[in-house]
Amino acid sequence: MTLPRDLVEQTFHEELFVIQGNTIVLLPQDWSTYKPDEQELLIKILNSIKLRFEGIQLLVKTEVDLETLRLFNPVSILSFGVNLKQAPTPYSPITWEGIPVLLADNLPALDDPKKKQLWGILKTTFLGS
C-alpha cells in the first residue's frame, strides 16, 4: 500500500526527525573502574543541575575533538578529565556551536576546593544563577 504524497508530506515533517540529544558526560576510564564514592559524586553533580544519570550519554575517551560529538546532537557537554581540543582550560566554560561545554578534573582528583569551584560554574552555566 502506498500513501498519497501530500498525505505523507503532511504526516512526516522534517522537524519530527530532529531529536534533541542528551547531555554528554566524558570520562577517561570505564564507569565500573570508579570507586562507589566517585560514582556517587558524579550522580550528585548531575542531580545538582537537574540531570539524572539515566538521562545522560556517558562516553569513555581520553581526548575528544568536539566535532566528533556533533552526531550525538548534545544539549551540553561535561568532561571530567578528558582533554577537549576546543576547551583546553579546566573550569572555564565555553559555548561551542550553542552548546555549553565544561572541562573539569577527573572525579578522583576533585578535592573540596575544586568541587566548590565546579559548583559555582555549574550554577551559572547550567542553572543560570
Cα–Cα separations (whole angstroms), residue 10 to 18, 52, 89, 123: 16, 35, 47, 42
What is the structure's pLDDT at 78? 96
Express each pLDDT in 78-109 by its tens digit.
999 999 988 888 999 999 999 999 999 999 99
Closest CA to 64 of 30, 101, 32: 101
Cα–Cα separations (whole angstroms), residue 48 to 37, 51, 72, 122, 123: 16, 7, 23, 8, 9
Rounded Cα gap, residues 66 and 62, in angstroms: 13
Q: Are 70 and 21 in contact (CB under 8 A)?
A: no
C-alpha cell at 19: 531529536
What is the structure's pLDDT at 56? 93
Identify the sign of the CA torsion 59, 65, 71, 72: positive
Q: Are 29 and 62 in contact (CB under 8 A)?
A: no
Cell 560554574 locates to: 121
Mean pLDDT of 30-44: 96
What is the structure's pLDDT at 115? 95
Express each pLDDT in 45-90 by its tens digit.
999 999 999 999 999 999 999 999 988 999 999 999 999 988 888 9
Domain boundaries, the chain: 21-127
Q: Are 62 and 97 in contact (CB under 8 A)?
A: no
CATH 3.30.1490.20 fits 21-127, yes or no: no
C-alpha cell at 91: 573550569
C-alpha cell at 3: 500513501
Q: Which pTM was predicted? A: 0.82
